[in-house]
Amino acid sequence: MSSEPNLLEDVREQLCSCAMGLKLTPDIEAFLKIPMRELFVALPVHMDDGSIKLFRGFRVQYNEALGPTKGGVRFHPEETIESIRALAALMTWKCALHNLPLGGAKGGVICNPKELSHRELERISRAYIRGIYQIIGPERDIPAPDVYTNPQVMAWMMDEYSKLSGKNEFGAITGKPTSLGGSAGRYDATARGGWYAIKEAAEELGIGLKNSRVAVQGFGNVGYHAAYLAKKLFGCKVLALSDSKGGIYSEAGLDPEDVSGHKLSTGSVRDYPGAENITNENLLALDVDILIPAALENVINGNNAKKLQTRILAELANGPTAKSAENILFNKGIHVIPDILCNGGGVIVSYFEMVQNQYRLQWEEREVQILLEKKMKEAYHSVLDFSLKNKVNMRQAAYTLAVGRVVEAMQLRSWI
């Protein structure tokens, strides 16, 4: 077995660790460790130079006991079926934890969007939907944005699905542009939801958010909005930011909007005037109150966990902390807001989008934010209470609550 962190193994182990408390039989535990359905697709795509290139994609529907499956689509050059499986499992626990009537899924296409033209990206997005058309739909499985996919990609996907079904099917995809049935407030929902949870955690720990020290790893949709809202909503000091090329640090605090302009013109946050260049590893080890990993999985692991100095670790990425880091963080007294709790804002507002599409409604942004805050607060306190009452860490508490709900639904449906 490799010593490299493996998200799928970690997710399965986490399940074992709460299986005892839930009194799961070995058969039920085994069922929960594998996806219910997986589809592999080969996508021949016409490239701009006239050639035809073959791309590979997957869709994993992990568990649908609680409702139609839900989860994003990642476009990434190093995508693997194993990581998609793990992420589909995380979606299942995430939807259950936040009491959404949805199961969990995830999809991916192995491709590098940074090397594709706009038209090539469109053809891949449409080909992917043609490939998985038979198993998705508003009552089956509803894709959404994830790493390197965005509202434009969702618009193409919704359009392709609608063409194939012969009618407008806005509810087949979420995370769409607002002019095409997307929900107000979906664009920053993951980051905003995360901050609603951080606010509760900060109160619990007696940390005043004004001028608190924040570092954010990742500067995609989630990372950017996490940094922007830190300053805008709570007056925090954003000391460090990073992207896949590296990071920047300023003791005086950074202006995320201005850094975004710099990234747009130079391709990276690096070399931002007045800031010091740092590595992604340096960023994780900074002396901050709140550390927000908002990029990819396994960035905090057994090798670097002991260097963390933060008081709150708010996991806006999916699976940023490997299992090998868990006890180290616990012993250091770091308050972890686990991914399935912290980053639930995205799928919560996706669910609101589905409801609006079904009834042809368009809610105001403020309405969406108020409902999102209520759901995040409820979920945060249910996890915290469970963790304190049962003397387990926040991740175990979140998993136990979530898996318990999925098991109950499977029992009520007589699947087990």
| Interface with ligand GLU (CB under 6 A) | 70-72, 144, 146, 174-175, 318, 343, 346-347, 350
Q: Is 106 a catalytic residue?
A: yes
CA distances from 187 to 102, 191, 261 (A): 21, 9, 18
Q: Which of 187/234 has CB closer to ligand GLU?
A: 187
Which single residue brings its beta carbon nearest to ligand GLU? 72
Query: CA–CA separation, 259 vs 263, rounded Å?
Result: 6
Beta carbon of residue 152, minimum distance to ligand GLU (angstroms, whole number): 16
Please state at what angle helix 345-359 crosses helix 365-390, rounded to 10 degrees.
140
Q: Which of 159/353 has CB closer to ligand GLU?
A: 353
* Residues in contact with 26: Cβ distance below 8 Å, sequence separation at least 6, in sequence order: none
Beta carbon of residue 297, minimum distance to ligand GLU (angstroms, whole number): 11
Beta carbon of residue 234, minimum distance to ligand GLU (angstroms, whole number): 23
Beta carbon of residue 71, minimum distance to ligand GLU (angstroms, whole number): 5
Q: Classify 74 as helix, strand or coil.
A: strand
Beta carbon of residue 211, minimum distance to ligand GLU (angstroms, whole number): 30
Q: Which two tokens stand for residue 284?
A: 């994780």
* Residues in contact with 355: Cβ distance below 8 Å, sequence separation at least 6, in sequence order: 361
Q: Which of 154/325 has CB closer to ligand GLU?
A: 154
Query: CA–CA separation, 294 vs 316, rounded Å?
Result: 5
- Indicate which residue of 106, 176, 237, 323 is catalytic: 106
| CA pseudo-torsion sign 99, 338, 143, 39 | negative
Q: Of the candidates 252, 246, 271, which has an alpha carbon nearest to the alpha carbon of residue 213?
A: 252
Q: Which helix (H) or strand (E) holds 162?
A: helix 151-165
Q: Which of 194/247 has CB closer to ligand GLU?
A: 194
Q: Are 100 and 129 in contact (CB under 8 A)?
A: no
Q: Are 239 and 214 in contact (CB under 8 A)?
A: yes
Beta carbon of residue 194, minimum distance to ligand GLU (angstroms, whole number): 11
DSSP assignment letter at 300: B
CA distances from 387 to 100, 102, 228, 335 (A): 21, 24, 30, 12
**Active site positions, annotated:** 106
